Amino acid sequence: MLEKTSCCKVNLLLNILGKRADGFHDLETVMHPVALCDRLVFERSGAGIRLACSDPRLPVNSKNLVVQAAALFAKTAGLGCGDGVRILLQKHIPVAAGLGGGSANAATTLLAMNELFGHPLPAGKLEELAATLGSDVPFFLQTKPALATGRGQIIQPLEPFPALRGVSVVLAHPGFGVSTPWAYHQLANFPSSVEGKPGRAQRLINLLQASLAAAAPEFYNALEAPVLRKYPLLELFQEFFRENGAPVSLMSGSGSATFALVPGREAAGTMLEKFRVKFGPGCWTAVVPSNS
């Protein structure tokens, strides 16, 4: 039996540089790991791939990225008919939230399968498989902050950012999800959001070597244009966090999760209590140390 945690991310910056011929978008994004984690348990058993999940709303068939990752691994590694696996997925990360929970689960599954079956695949092959499962999946094969380019699958790991030392990540989820393909599709109505100038990611990375206050104006997410237009509540979340002293508040990925960066755990806790009073129990919230 093999037990693994599978943690999520926020995008500190997501700059879209253009639309590609294959329908994806070229981007530069700064991804930061967040220690809010799902738990996965893997066990070799009989034939086939069987998934059980704590959240009954999630599919446990080949629609689930965990099953897709295990099947792709089995095929690529040439596992035999008797090389089955039983997987238990305990969800804590909100779904369709822009936090990369499903992608993280897929990456964790690739790593766990490789461990469970005696490391038949080298790291480079796992990276290749991860990229075919989803643009975000390669990031989760490693644990550092990273600059991601291409469609998000080319990962350059970075050292923890000094400006985020002692900073808490406050997460808020409105209780509904946003579809990633929908968000990207809507960009057709927001042409300037698809014409980002390259270099913004590196500028933010440079500023994060010093102070959060100096870096704050550089945080940016091009997908906010379509998503906030449709869901103005998410804009109210950001306004609330800024008015209550957060130097940074932004949507993560394609949403619907909003995050705020707050110096100090106590200030973050107080802010969250006020948030709950204002927005009510329908919203999911969490405070996580940035680990930088």
Interface with ligand C5P (CB under 6 A), residue from 98, 138, 145, 152? 152
- Taking CB under 6 A as the rule, does residue 256 contact ligand C5P? no
Query: Measured in whole angstroms, how far is the alpha carbon of residue 34 from the centre of its chain?
Result: 8
Q: φ, ψ for residue 270 (rounded to 5)? A: -65, -45
Distance CA(129)–CA(111), nearest Å, equals 11
- Of 30, 98, 92, whose CA–CA distance to 257 is shortest? 98
CB of 48 to ligand C5P, least distance (A): 25
Nearer to ligand C5P, 152 or 263 (CB): 152
For residue 218, what are the β-bridge partners?
Answer: none
Determine the residue type at 49: I
Choice among 136, 144, 197, 278 that is catalytic: 136
For residue 18, what are the β-bridge partners?
Answer: 26
3-state class (DSSP) for residue 81: coil
Interface with ligand C5P (CB under 6 A), residue from 56, 78, 181, 232? 181
Number of residues that bind ligand C5P (CB under 6 A): 11
Interface with ligand C5P (CB under 6 A), residue from 39, 125, 151, 265? 151
Nearer to ligand C5P, 17 or 214 (CB): 17
Interface with ligand C5P (CB under 6 A), residue from 42, 184, 240, 259? 184
Query: Measured in whole angstroms, how far is the alpha carbon of residue 191 from the centre of its chain?
Result: 25
Distance CA(186)–CA(131), nearest Å, equals 23
CB of 27 to ligand C5P, least distance (A): 5
CB of 289 to ligand C5P, least distance (A): 27
3-state class (DSSP) for residue 289: strand
CB burial of residue 159 (10 Å; 0-12, 13-18, 19+): exposed
- Of 52, 122, 49, whose CA–CA distance to 83 is shortest? 49
CB of 138 to ligand C5P, least distance (A): 10
Q: φ, ψ for residue 4 (rounded to 5)? A: -135, 145
Choice among 4, 9, 19, 278 that is catalytic: 9
220-221/2-19 β-pairing = parallel
CB of 184 to ligand C5P, least distance (A): 4
- Say whether 136 is catalytic: yes
Binding mask 110-139 for ligand C5P (x = CB under 6 A): ------------------------xxx---
Nearer to ligand C5P, 224 or 263 (CB): 224
- For residue 118, give both structure tokens: 């005696």
Binding mask 14-33 for ligand C5P (x = CB under 6 A): ----------xx-x------
Q: Which residues bind ligand C5P (CB under 6 A)?
A: 24-25, 27, 134-136, 151-152, 180-181, 184
Catalytic (active-site) positions: 9, 136
